[in-house]
């Protein structure tokens, strides 16, 4: 439960499941720089914040929606911002047995989140299983 207590409680502007232009709101919220790597099935928008944490948002080429997120760095990103409407499901899933010390695993039909870490070394990913583009492997989300 340590990770849940450290999560900031701010208003979400953009989120998992939103359209690609919402990534700019995340970038502004995190005050980071963004690099976009296009691909056939999806593009990756990598936001690097001044603290060194990197957040990658995966955007489907077919739907234009953010279908997955991944993060890594010395600080946890604002998961309320990044998960948006999915945040409450994440918190509920973690409270109902998905959290173990510094490891959170929530696997629901519409949302999967794996987050782990300790001071200055956090990583994780979240995705919407029903929105994964054809041919995308879970291992690709990192």
Per-residue confidence of the chain (142 residues) as pLDDT tens digits?
Answer: 344 444 443 344 458 999 998 899 999 999 999 999 999 999 999 999 999 999 999 999 999 999 999 999 999 999 999 999 999 999 998 888 767 778 999 999 999 999 999 888 999 999 999 999 999 999 999 9
CA 80 vs. chain centroid, Å, equals 9
The pTM of the whole model exceeds 0.75: yes
Q: Name the one residue in this structure whose structure tokens are 């990770």.
A: 3
The candidate with the shortest Cα–Cα distance to 68, out of 80, 56, 51, is 56
């Amino acid at each position: 439960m340590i990770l849940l207590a450290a999560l900031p409680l701010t208003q979400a502007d953009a989120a998992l499941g939103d359209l690609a232009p919402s990534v700019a709101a995340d970038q502004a919220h995190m005050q980071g720089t963004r690099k976009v790597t296009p691909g056939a099935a999806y593009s990756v928008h990598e936001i690097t914040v001044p603290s060194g944490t990197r957040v990658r948002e995966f955007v489907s080429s077919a739907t234009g929606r953010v279908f997955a997120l991944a993060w890594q760095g010395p600080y946890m990103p604002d998961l309320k911002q990044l998960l948006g409407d999915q945040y409450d499901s994440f918190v509920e899933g973690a409270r109902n047995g998905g959290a173990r010390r510094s490891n959170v695993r929530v696997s629901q039909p519409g949302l999967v989140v794996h987050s782990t870490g300790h001071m200055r070394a956090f990583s994780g990913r979240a995705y919407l299983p029903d929105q994964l583009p054809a041919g995308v492997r879970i291992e690709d989300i990192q």
